[in-house]
């Protein structure tokens, strides 16, 4: 979010200083799937923002000569209720601006050799999603911002803001406006604002295989039935209730940890798998083996990869608001907080940044 805001402000000709407390990025943005995923956003303003964000992402990636996988997405169905939701979505969503279509099982298998054919009922293909490798892109974007004239300071924790002064561990910077994108850090700056905000934290467990054979690629990023419970876009489907009831009845352990399974590919051909959702302001630093096993068990129902062995495991934490798609506040003149884009921050970041900068009249 900080990188995106710095980019949009710099492109509008402003002089920008970006302060990151870490020596390198280690937050949610580097721990995610790298999925730019407009299909997950509810129809209307948030979907429009995601599509605009996608456009800016592509502009940035091309200008910064960073790789991405323009593969689109596939949501696959193995139960009648999943197929019902996806068929209904494919029927009504295109009228709301989603570029997607229903495919029967043979057509899904033509698009993806990574989809398990056994029991497959069909799926929805969408062209608007793409994948970046978060480790690579988030690490290299600061270099590109420097080329645009942004003064990027790592290891520079902001400790106090009183415009025009931004106090940091390393000294102070002068700025007319401060935009605070502090991710899930609610304690350092404006703790009273955050305490009253309704924001909390969400912990997600993730895994990654080693790079697959060089001639094998995932193709479209994959999601399956459990994901339909998560993304608000699917709430437009009248058939969703039946699917949710079955999952709650048949898979209480998946409900307990709010698990669904998404699959993406990294720049070196590894497969990223996740995730779970544990909501608490105080994050459990220890991961649960049970969650990893549930994720892998579900992944094996719809995914075929040459090598399923897990090479890396980690968890990520994002800030999220119970009702709002993101959180904004102006604790004082010249200070704008924007954070908590929940599970969609990678997708929304550039669109949200454009909205913030325009809203500030910059």
Residue carrying structure tokens 């293909």: 125
Out of 6, 18, 37, 302, name the contact with ligand FAD by CB under 6 A: 37
In angstroms, what is the C-alpha Rg of the chain? 20
CB of 227 to ligand FAD, least distance (A): 12
Q: Does 265 bind ligand FAD (CB under 6 A)?
A: no
Q: Which is nearer to ligand FAD, 225 or 345 (CB)?
A: 345
Contacts (CB under 6 A) with ligand FAD, residues 297-336:
316-318
Q: For tokens 């988030």, what's the residue? A: 138
- CB-nearer residue toward ligand FAD: 144 or 318: 318
Tokens matching residue 355: 């909205």
Asked whether position 29 contacts ligand FAD by CB under 6 A, the answer is yes
DSSP 208-240: EEPPPPTT----SEEE-GGGGGT-GGGGG-TTH
Q: Which part of the chain contacts ligand FAD (CB under 6 A), choosing from 91-99, 107-115, 304-312, 339-347?
A: 339-347
Binding mask 269-298 for ligand FAD (x = CB under 6 A): -----xx-----------------------
> Which CB sits closer to ligand FAD, 80 or 293?
293
Residues 35, 221: contact at Cβ < 8 Å? yes
Residue spans of beta strands (DSSP E) within the chain: 17-20, 35-36, 73-77, 100-104, 122-126, 130-131, 151-154, 158-162, 165-168, 171-174, 178-180, 199-209, 221-223, 262-265, 271-274, 278-279, 310-321, 327-332, 335-339
CB atoms within 10 A of CB 157: 16
Q: Which of 141, 343, 352, 354 binds ligand FAD (CB under 6 A)?
A: 343
Does residue 157 interact with ligand FAD by CB under 6 A? Answer: yes
Number of chain positions touching ligand FAD (CB under 6 A): 39
Asked if 72 interacts with ligand FAD (CB under 6 A), we say no
Chain centroid offset of residue 234 CA: 17
Q: Is residue 100 within 8 Å of 90, Cβ to Cβ?
A: yes
Parallel/antiparallel/unpaired status of strands 73-77 and 122-126: antiparallel
**Binding range to ligand FAD, per CB under 6 A, among 25-33, 76-84, 85-93, 291-299:** 25-33
Nearest residue to 158 (alpha-carbon basis) of 17, 42, 34, 281: 17
Find the part of the chain contacting ligand FAD (CB under 6 A) among 55-63, 184-192, 236-244, 354-362: 184-192
Residues 102-141, one symbol each (x = binds ligand FAD by CB under 6 A, - = not), give: ----------------------------------------
Q: Minimum distance between the CB of residue 244 and ligand FAD, rounded to whole angstroms?
A: 22
Q: Is 51 helix (H, G, I), strand (E, B) or coil?
A: helix
User: Binding residues for ligand FAD, per CB under 6 A?
Assistant: 1-2, 19-22, 25, 27-29, 31-35, 37, 157-158, 181-185, 188-189, 204, 206, 274-275, 316-318, 339, 341, 343-347
């Amino acid at each position: 979010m900080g990188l995106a805001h710095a980019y949009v402000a710099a492109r509008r000709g402003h002089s920008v200083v970006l302060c990151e407390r870490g020596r390198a990025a280690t937050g949610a943005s580097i721990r995610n799937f790298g999925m730019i995923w407009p299909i997950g956003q509810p129809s209307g303003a948030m979907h429009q923002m995601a599509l605009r964000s996608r456009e800016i992402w592509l502009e940035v990636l091309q200008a910064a000569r960073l790789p991405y996988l323009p593969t689109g997405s596939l949501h696959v169905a193995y139960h009648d209720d999943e197929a019902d939701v996806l068929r209904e979505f494919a029927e009504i969503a295109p009228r709301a601006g989603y570029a997607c279509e229903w495919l029967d099982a043979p057509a899904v298998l033509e698009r993806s050799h990574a989809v398990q054919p056994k029991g497959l009922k069909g799926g929805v293909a969408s062209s608007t999603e793409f994948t970046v490798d978060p480790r690579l892109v988030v690490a290299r974007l600061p270099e590109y911002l420097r080329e645009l004239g942004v003064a990027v300071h790592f290891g520079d924790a902001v400790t106090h803001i009183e415009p025009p002064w931004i106090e940091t561990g390393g000294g102070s910077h002068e700025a007319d406006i401060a935009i605070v994108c502090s991710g899930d850090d609610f304690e350092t700056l404006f703790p009273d604002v955050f305490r009253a905000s309704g924001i909390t934290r969400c912990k997600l467990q993730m895994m990654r295989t080693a790079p697959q054979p060089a001639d094998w690629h995932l193709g479209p990023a994959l999601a399956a039935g459990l994901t339909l419970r998560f993304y608000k876009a699917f709430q437009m489907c009248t058939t969703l209730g039946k699917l949710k009831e079955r999952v709650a009845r048949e898979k209480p352990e998946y409900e307990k940890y709010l698990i669904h399974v998404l699959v993406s590919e990294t720049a070196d051909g590894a497969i990223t798998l996740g995730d779970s959702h544990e909501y608490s302001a105080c994050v459990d630093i220890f991961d649960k083996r049970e969650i990893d096993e549930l994720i892998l068990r579900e992944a094996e129902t719809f995914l075929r990869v040459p090598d399923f062995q897990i090479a890396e495991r980690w968890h990520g934490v994002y800030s999220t608001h119970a009702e709002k798609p993101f959180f904004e506040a102006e604790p004082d003149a010249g200070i704008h907080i924007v954070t908590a884009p929940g599970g969609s921050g990678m997708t929304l970041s550039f669109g949200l940044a454009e909205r913030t900068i325009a809203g500030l009249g910059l």
